[in-house]
Chains A and B, each alone.
Chain A
Amino acid sequence: MPILAVALAIATGAIIIAFSGSSPVDAYKALIDGSLSDSKSIGRTLEKATPLVMGGLAVAFAFKAGLFNIGGQGQLVFGALIAGAVGYGITGLPWIIHTPLALLAGAVAGALWGAIPGILKASRGAHEVITTIMLNFVALNMTDWLASKVWREEGVIVRTPHIEESAEIPRWGEIPTGFLLAVVIAFVCWYLLRSTTFGFEIKSVGLNPNAAHYAGISVKKIVILTMAISGLLAALGGAIETQGVVGRYEPGFNAGLGFEGITIALLARTHPLAVIPAAILIGAMEAGGSMMQFKADVSPEITDIIQALILIFVATPIIVRWFLSQKEANELSVSTTWGSS
């Protein structure tokens, strides 16, 4: 069904492009050109997809425990900033130590930041949607302040100094190594949820917290740990971005990236492995968007519209079902009531 939602969004997007006076065929050709045509553009697509995989995993993972982490943006900028600080601040280390150290520092920062809404929920019952949204603002302002006052590079631009070469994540040919790392982490998440007792506890809490409590699972512990891991995942996306793409932390560079995780997780139906293709799809649109403007004279915002349409179609399966067929919709409603004898 998500595939159908994507197809519907692309078709609707074509109509909008046509209305704006351009050729949809040319536009989509340019989009593919800019994102999938050669190894260079594929590399760019994967580069764009990397923080999306991590953001998608962050949302999907929290969702398994019944938690909605909207704080990906804040967690991501924290990870990006701390990785940047460790990346430039510590010198003289070999890369084999420095690179993972900076990644780890960013991840831990995100985990601690992510744990805060978990602790608030477990101890005071504060809803994580509210607290994560509010903590986004706190995180943005705190990182702005740290980047402009504490770890600022000399000069007019507010940003941290460029990280040491020993902290940079290299490319593997055109393929960004950070993407491979994200894929490995997606598999780790999948395995954790599927095959470990910890994963079983997380899913139990998400599916029925009362029964989980009855079964002796500490619901509070799981809530805090899950939020910490979710924050860690989002922050790692920021750290990889700093160490593999941007080279430093610069406020505004990652704007909005953390929120795309919600789109990705929805598109992937919160399955950790499905997050990968979902992120590549959105990454390709972002990578190809500028080529679309350049070659077909379509504003790159059209890709935002298509993304929004995908989200709408995924989030409202009823529209897609209506496209499928009226009859099936009826059958479905009957099958949900059966079994109540």
Chain B
Amino acid sequence: MSSNTLALEATGISKTFGNVIANDQINLEIKKGRIHALLGENGAGKSTLVNILFGLYKADSGTVRVDGKTVDLGRPKDAIDHGIGMVHQHFQLVPVLTVAENIVLGNEPSNKANVVDIESAKEKVRELAETYQLDVDTEAMVEDLPVGTQQRVEILRSLYRKADILILDEPTAVLTPQETDHLLQVLKKLATQGVAIIFITHKLREVLEVADEVTVMRNGQVVGSTTPAETDESGLAEMMVGRSVVLRVAKEEASPDKTVLKVNNLCVHDDRGILAVNDLSLEVRSGEIFGIAGVEGNGQRELVETITGLRNAHTGQILIGDSSITEFSPRQISELGVAHIPEDREKHGLIGAHSVADNLILNRYYKTPFSNNGIRQQKAIADYATEMVEKFDIRTPSIETPSSSLSGGNKQKAIAAREFSHDAKLLVASQPTRGIDVGSIEFVHQQLIQQRDQGLAVLLVSAELDEILSLSDRIGVIYRGSLIVTENSTDLDRNRIGRIMTTGSDST
């Protein structure tokens, strides 16, 4: 496969929304059989660009050539007809249909009576899966499949539609580390079979691992192109953010003091009534970061929700300071000095339709100076919000803007601003940097360390192993609801944690 012929060439693409320039004179060359990473912070214009390539947005100007011919990509069907496929961040699958049905949906093979020929559909899907070595159970119902497999179904669907240019919009944001590794293998394999891949991400390690070429965007413009051989993580981060970025926060030795959080033999059920946290005990002291590493879905969510009062414990005890809090409401726990950066910022962290200002006081709206005898004090709220926006560098048009219109990184900064200003003695931070850009990650990490140094006890839960390793003073590895190993972070290496995370056993 000649690797130098162009599969797709975009020239001078511009797109504005209102007075926001999302894409400004973008040029992009995608070669056949190559993985092309599109890198940039949130709001840099990556998604806008690929949405134009897939016909979801119409560019204000610019031309797109596929296989050397200028094409008009007015709608997704045009893109599909020209062999462009896209896997969206949020999957476009029908949960109650089978894998085979989902893949052929829209192009169903039919028999003479114009009835869907499901047997032949299954056969075709099986052939396809074999060709590209993508294992799936064609009969399985999509809703029963793990996220990584659902994504494979999405990829197969594009291939079924004869895509030879595949766009993946932040495909690893929703995956566990294992699923991510698997996906990267799949992408490499597809590339060797001649598929051109456009891979959007802001995870630098992934870019260095699989990309053949890298295009970096910032503020709607292409700021540079490079290859993994020519650069490293800090080089890429600097290109993305426009300044040098600290990827690994420097931190002093922790000086832990008295125990703030003590969990004894805790058992918690999940939503289906199945034991999710199983006889778990841990201790977090002031001035230290205790990290919980583990593949998602091993009880982390239930543990965090129980500590913060959102879920009831089945058995066991949780002590914050001297108070046993298993019967406490979220408000009572918050009043004890517990701050919480929730795992799902859209669902729990923010009220999207409320203004940035109201979200910044969401845990304190009922207290002075924000409320006086039950009357909201608009000026105090506005003054405080203005101060927070400044201090935490939250990029928002105004404090009255609905929080839903902020970018992911700025939403997370707003939550961090609120929780870090809580005057707390314990912070429970769950996936604090998920889906946010390098600049914001750096900020959140620095804040976590700074707060620790001021005596905060931090319980950090993250699926990002690097995050756990670089921030934590002590690490516990969770597997099926139990902490298998708890050790000082210096005594655990990446490989050992990875092994315990996936097998639940420390033996080699």
**A joins B in a complex:** yes
Chain B interface size, as a band, is 35 or more
- Give a binary string over A304-324; 1 marks a CB under 8 Å from any B CB, 0 the rest: 000000000000000000000
- Give a binary string over B348-372; 1 marks a CB under 8 Å from any A CB, 0 the rest: 1111111000100011011000010
Q: Which residue of A lies closest to B57 (CB)?
A: A334
Assess whether B375 is interfacial by the CB under 8 Å rule.
yes
* CB neighbours of A196 from chain B (8 A): 374-376
* CB neighbours of B358 from chain A (8 A): 200
* A3 nearest CB across to chain B (Å): 24
Q: How far is the CA of A328 from the CA of B14 in the complex (A)?
A: 22
Q: Which residue of B lies closest to A205 (CB)?
A: B351
Verify B46–A211 contact, CB threshold 8 A: no
Verify B17–A338 contact, CB threshold 8 A: yes
* CB neighbours of B100 from chain A (8 A): none
Verify B340–A195 contact, CB threshold 8 A: no
Verify A204–B354 contact, CB threshold 8 A: yes
* A100 nearest CB across to chain B (Å): 24
Assess whether A339 is interfacial by the CB under 8 Å rule.
yes
Assess whether B330 is interfacial by the CB under 8 Å rule.
yes
Verify B348–A197 contact, CB threshold 8 A: no
Contact of A216 (CB < 8 Å), options: B329, B351, B375: B329
* CB neighbours of B48 from chain A (8 A): 341
* A336 nearest CB across to chain B (Å): 11
Assess whether B331 is interfacial by the CB under 8 Å rule.
yes
A200-B365, A211-B351 known; A341+B45 contact, CB < 8 A: yes
A207-B352, A216-B331 known; A339+B376 contact, CB < 8 A: no
Assess whether A212 is interfacial by the CB under 8 Å rule.
yes
Verify A198–B46 contact, CB threshold 8 A: no
User: Considering residues B43, B44, B310, B375, which has the most beta carbons from chain A within 10 angstroms of its beta carbon?
Assistant: B375
Contact of B46 (CB < 8 Å), options: A210, A212, A337, A341: A341
A211-B349, A341-B44, A341-B48 known; A197+B365 contact, CB < 8 A: yes
* CB neighbours of B378 from chain A (8 A): 195
* A61 nearest CB across to chain B (Å): 17
Contact of A341 (CB < 8 Å), options: B42, B308, B363: B42
* A205 nearest CB across to chain B (Å): 10
Contact of A198 (CB < 8 Å), options: B17, B57, B351, B374: B374
Assess whether B502 is interfacial by the CB under 8 Å rule.
no
Q: Which residue of B lies closest to A198 (CB)?
A: B374
Assess whether B26 is interfacial by the CB under 8 Å rule.
no
Verify B405–A208 contact, CB threshold 8 A: no
Tell me which residues from 303 to 335 in chain B have a Cβ below 8 Å from any Cβ of chain A. 308, 310, 329-331, 334
Tell me which residues from 183 to 238 in chain A have a Cβ below 8 Å from any Cβ of chain B. 195-200, 203-204, 207-208, 210-218
Verify B351–A207 contact, CB threshold 8 A: yes
* Chain A facing B: main interface SS: helix
Tell me which residues from 453 to 495 in chain B have a Cβ below 8 Å from any Cβ of chain A. none
Contact of A214 (CB < 8 Å), options: B42, B348, B371: B348
* CB neighbours of A334 from chain B (8 A): 17, 57
Tell me which residues from 83 to 132 in chain A have a Cβ below 8 Å from any Cβ of chain B. none
* A190 nearest CB across to chain B (Å): 14
Contact of B376 (CB < 8 Å), options: A195, A208, A337: A195
A195-B376, A197-B371, A218-B331 known; A211+B350 contact, CB < 8 A: yes
Q: How far is the CA of A199 from the CA of B376 in the complex (A)?
A: 9
Assess whether B407 is interfacial by the CB under 8 Å rule.
yes
Assess whether A325 is interfacial by the CB under 8 Å rule.
no
Tell me which residues from 38 to 97 in chain B have a Cβ below 8 Å from any Cβ of chain A. 42-48, 56-57
Q: How far is the CA of A213 from the CA of B407 in the complex (A)?
A: 24
Q: How far is the CA of A207 from the CA of B352 in the complex (A)?
A: 8
A195-B375, A196-B376, A197-B374 known; A211+B348 contact, CB < 8 A: yes
Verify A214–B45 contact, CB threshold 8 A: no
Verify B331–A212 contact, CB threshold 8 A: no
* CB neighbours of B331 from chain A (8 A): 216-218
Q: Which residue of A lies closest to B353 (CB)?
A: A207
* CB neighbours of B308 from chain A (8 A): 214
Verify B354–A197 contact, CB threshold 8 A: no
Assess whether B197 is interfacial by the CB under 8 Å rule.
no
Q: How far is the CA of A253 from the CA of B330 in the complex (A)?
A: 48
Verify B362–A211 contact, CB threshold 8 A: yes
Assess whether B272 is interfacial by the CB under 8 Å rule.
no
Contact of B354 (CB < 8 Å), options: A207, A210, A214: A207
Q: Which residue of A lies closest to B305 (CB)?
A: A214
* CB neighbours of A212 from chain B (8 A): 351
Q: Which residue of A lies closest to B345 (CB)?
A: A211
* B404 nearest CB across to chain A (Å): 8
Verify B47–A341 contact, CB threshold 8 A: yes
* CB neighbours of B329 from chain A (8 A): 216, 218
Q: How far is the CA of A16 from the CA of B331 in the complex (A)?
A: 58
Assess whether B342 is interfacial by the CB under 8 Å rule.
yes
Q: How far is the CA of A218 from the CA of B366 in the complex (A)?
A: 13
Q: Which residue of A lies closest to B406 (CB)?
A: A339
Q: Which residue of A lies closest to B47 (CB)?
A: A341
Assess whether A326 is interfacial by the CB under 8 Å rule.
no
* A298 nearest CB across to chain B (Å): 44
A200-B365, A204-B351, A207-B353 known; A214+B342 contact, CB < 8 A: yes
Assess whether B347 is interfacial by the CB under 8 Å rule.
yes
Assess whether B35 is interfacial by the CB under 8 Å rule.
no
A200-B358, A208-B351 known; A341+B407 contact, CB < 8 A: yes
* CB neighbours of A203 from chain B (8 A): 354
Assess whether B22 is interfacial by the CB under 8 Å rule.
yes
Verify A200–B376 contact, CB threshold 8 A: yes
Q: How far is the CA of A341 from the CA of B202 in the complex (A)?
A: 12
Q: How far is the CA of A203 from the CA of B362 in the complex (A)?
A: 12
Q: How far is the CA of A199 from the CA of B374 in the complex (A)?
A: 9
Q: How far is the CA of A198 from the CA of B371 in the complex (A)?
A: 10
* A208 nearest CB across to chain B (Å): 4
* B237 nearest CB across to chain A (Å): 19
Contact of A211 (CB < 8 Å), options: B45, B347, B374: B347
* CB neighbours of A338 from chain B (8 A): 17, 22
Q: How far is the CA of A207 from the CA of B358 in the complex (A)?
A: 13
* CB neighbours of B363 from chain A (8 A): 215-216
* B138 nearest CB across to chain A (Å): 31
Verify A340–B330 contact, CB threshold 8 A: no
Verify B56–A214 contact, CB threshold 8 A: no
Q: How far is the CA of A341 from the CA of B354 in the complex (A)?
A: 21
Q: How far is the CA of A217 from the CA of B352 in the complex (A)?
A: 16
Q: Which residue of B lies closest to A212 (CB)?
A: B351
Q: How far is the CA of A274 from the CA of B342 in the complex (A)?
A: 37
* A64 nearest CB across to chain B (Å): 11
Verify A208–B352 contact, CB threshold 8 A: yes
User: Considering residues B22, B351, B362, which has the most beta carbons from chain A within 10 angstroms of its beta carbon?
Assistant: B351
Residues in B lying within 8 Å of A, measured CB to CB: 17, 22, 42-48, 56-57, 308, 310, 329-331, 334, 340, 342, 347-354, 358, 362-363, 365-366, 371, 374-376, 378, 405, 407
22 CB < 8 A contacts A-B: A197-B374, A200-B376, A203-B354, A208-B347, A208-B353, A211-B362, A213-B330, A214-B308, A214-B330, A214-B340, A214-B342, A215-B362, A215-B363, A216-B330, A217-B331, A335-B17, A337-B56, A337-B57, A339-B405, A341-B22, A341-B43, A341-B407
The 4 closest A-B pairs by CB, nearest first: A216-B331, A341-B47, A214-B348, A208-B351
For the A-B complex with A207-B351, A211-B350 known, give 6 more contacts whose Cβ atoms are closer than 8 Å: A195-B375, A199-B376, A207-B352, A211-B362, A214-B308, A214-B349
